[in-house]
C-alpha cells in the first residue's frame, strides 16, 4: 500500500500526465485547393488534411468560394464519398482562406477555392445545429428558451462558432440570446457571402444544405476559444456624450447640434484626414462606461447611416441612449494594420504560460483584403507571424461575428480570429 502522501503525489502525477496528453493529442489540419474542378478540389483537400492527422477527425469545417455557386449542392455528397467525420459545418464566401500545398496561408479572393479544416478534439463534445429566424425566442424569454432552441447544456461552458445567411434576419437577436443564456461563452463566426449583391449563398450542416438561417457548432469540455477582433479604425477628436437621442438617431452631443460638432471636428483635421472623412468616417461607441483612458479596442465601431441637415441629427447603425459616450473614427489601411498588430502583441504577451494554440479561424470582411491593403494576405500573414504559423482557415464574410467589451456583435469591415487551444484546467 502507498502511504497517503505518496498516493496524493501519484494522483497529481497522473492528472498532470493526462492533461499533457490531452493537450498533445489535440490536432488541427487545414488544406486549401485552387483546382477549378470541384471533384478535384474535394479530393485534394481531403487527401491533404487527413494525411496531417494521426487520429480520427471529430470536426470538419469547409469554406467554398462563390466561384462554385452553381455547384454548392454537390459539395456535401462529394465530401461524403471521401471523408467520414461526425460533425461538419461550413458555408460559401466571397473569398476563402487556408493553407496551400506549399504550406503558405493564402487569402484567395474572387477565384475558385475550397478550404477544409479537420480537427481531432479529445475531451471535447462537439454539437452542430441549425436555427431558423422564425424559431428564435423572444428577447424577453428565459434562458431555458434559448438553451432548448440550441439543444446545448450550459455546463461545461460551450464555445460557439456560427455561420449565418447573408442579411439573415434575427442574427443580432441570436447573439444577444446566446450571451444571455450562456454567460461566459465565446462566440465567433461570419455571414456567408455570395461574392456580390444578390449572389447565392450556402450553409452546410452535416448532410444538409441551407440557404438561410444560421448553422453552428457548440464546443464543450477540453477546449478554449480565444478571440481577436480587429475593427480597423482609429479615433479622431475627443469622446463625446449623447445628451439626446431617439432609437439610432443622435439628436444632441454634449448638448450641441451633432452635425455642427462633426463639422467643427473635420475642419480641424489634416487635409489627408479630411479627405478620408468623406468616405471612411465611422462612430465608435464606448463599451465600458467607467473607463476614462480610452484607446483602440475600447469602442464598438458602427456605420454613419445618414444626416438630417435641417435638424443637424446623425443616424448610426446602432441604438443610442442619453449618457452614452462615443467618438468619431476613421478607417484606413494604416490604422487597420496598426490595430491588428497591437492586438496580436497583447494576445501573445498573455499566452506565455498557456498551452500553445493548435489552430485558428479567420472571418474577414469583404471590404478588407487586397482592396484595403493593396496587397494580398496581409491580415493572415501578420496573424501567422505572432501565432507560430498554426493552421489558419476562414472566409471573406458579409458580416463578422465576435465579442467586444464582453458582448457579442455583428460587425462590418472587421477581421475576427477564433483561436483554439486545449484547456488543461477542464
Average pLDDT over residues 143-154: 93
Contact call for residues 182 and 176 (beta carbons, < 8 A): no
Residue 24 has pLDDT above 60, yes or no: no
Average pLDDT over residues 27-34: 97
C-alpha cell at 325: 459616450
Measured N-to-C along each axis, helices 333-350 and 378-386 cross at an angle, to the nearest 10 degrees, of 20
Domain locations along the chain: 26-231+336-421, 234-332
In the numeric block, the cell 423572444 is attached to 138
Residue 10 has pLDDT above 60, yes or no: no
List, for residues 354-397, the tens digit of each pLDDT value: 778 999 999 999 999 999 999 999 999 999 999 988 999 999 99
CA dist 237 to 142, 286, 325, Å? Answer: 41, 14, 13
pLDDT for 322: 93
pTM given for the model = 0.90
List, for residues 278-323, the tens digit of each pLDDT value: 889 999 999 887 788 887 678 999 999 999 999 999 999 999 999 9
pLDDT for 196: 58
User: 28 pairs with which residues across the strands?
Assistant: 119
| Mean pLDDT of the residues in the chain | 90
Residue 237 has pLDDT above 60, yes or no: yes
pLDDT for 166: 73
pLDDT for 352: 63
C-alpha cell at 413: 469591415
125 by Cβ neighbours in 10 Å (0-12 / 13-18 / 19+) ranks as middle
Architecture of domain 234-332: Beta Barrel (2.40)
Amino acid at each position: 500500500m502507498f502511504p497517503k502522501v505518496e498516493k496524493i503525489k501519484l494522483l497529481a502525477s497522473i492528472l498532470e500526465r493526462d492533461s499533457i496528453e490531452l493537450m498533445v493529442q489535440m490536432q488541427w489540419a487545414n488544406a486549401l485547393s485552387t483546382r477549378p474542378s470541384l471533384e478535384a478540389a474535394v479530393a485534394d483537400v481531403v487527401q491533404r488534411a487527413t494525411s496531417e492527422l494521426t487520429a480520427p477527425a471529430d470536426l470538419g469545417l469547409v469554406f467554398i468560394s462563390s466561384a462554385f455557386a452553381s455547384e454548392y449542392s454537390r459539395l456535401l455528397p462529394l465530401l461524403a464519398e471521401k471523408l467520414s467525420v461526425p460533425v461538419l459545418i461550413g458555408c460559401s464566401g466571397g473569398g476563402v482562406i487556408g493553407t496551400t500545398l506549399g504550406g503558405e496561408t493564402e487569402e484567395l479572393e474572387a477565384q475558385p477555392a475550397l478550404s477544409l479544416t479537420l480537427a481531432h478534439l479529445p475531451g471535447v463534445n462537439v454539437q452542430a445545429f441549425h436555427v431558423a429566424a422564425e424559431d428564435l425566442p423572444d428577447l424577453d424569454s428565459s434562458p431555458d428558451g434559448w438553451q432548448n432552441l440550441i439543444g446545448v447544456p450550459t455546463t461545461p461552458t460551450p464555445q460557439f462558432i456560427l455561420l449565418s445567411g447573408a442579411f439573415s434576419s434575427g442574427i443580432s437577436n441570436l447573439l444577444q440570446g446566446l450571451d444571455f443564456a450562456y454567460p461566459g461563452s465565446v462566440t465567433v463566426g461570419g455571414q456567408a457571402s455570395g461574392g456580390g449583391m444578390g449572389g447565392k449563398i450556402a450553409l452546410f450542416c452535416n448532410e444538409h444544405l441551407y440557404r438561410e438561417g444560421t448553422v453552428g457548432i457548440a464546443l464543450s469540455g477540453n477546449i478554449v476559444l480565444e478571440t481577436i477582433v480587429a475593427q480597423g479604425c482609429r479615433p479622431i477628436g475627443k469622446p463625446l456624450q449623447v445628451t439626446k437621442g431617439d432609437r439610432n438617431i443622435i439628436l444632441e452631443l454634449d448638448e450641441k447640434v451633432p452635425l455642427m460638432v462633426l463639422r467643427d471636428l473635420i475642419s480641424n483635421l489634416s487635409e489627408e484626414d479630411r479627405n478620408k472623412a468623406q468616405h471612411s468616417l465611422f462612430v465608435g461607441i464606448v463599451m465600458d462606461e467607467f473607463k476614462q483612458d480610452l484607446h483602440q479596442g475600447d469602442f464598438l465601431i458602427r456605420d454613419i447611416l445618414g444626416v438630417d441637415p435641417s435638424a443637424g441629427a446623425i443616424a448610426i447603425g446602432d441604438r443610442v441612449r442619453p449618457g452614452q459616450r462615443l467618438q468619431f473614427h476613421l478607417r484606413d489601411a494604416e490604422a487597420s494594420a496598426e490595430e491588428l498588430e497591437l492586438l496580436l502583441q497583447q494576445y501573445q504577451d498573455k499566452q506565455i504560460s498557456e498551452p500553445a494554440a493548435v489552430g485558428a479561424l479567420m472571418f474577414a470582411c469583404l471590404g478588407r483584403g487586397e482592396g484595403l491593403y493593396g496587397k494580398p494576405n496581409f491580415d493572415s500573414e501578420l496573424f501567422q507571424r505572432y501565432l507560430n504559423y498554426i493552421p489558419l482557415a476562414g472566409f471573406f464574410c458579409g458580416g463578422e461575428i465576435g465579442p467586444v467589451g464582453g458582448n457579442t456583435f455583428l460587425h462590418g469591415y472587421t477581421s475576427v480570429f477564433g483561436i483554439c487551444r486545449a484547456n488543461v484546467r477542464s
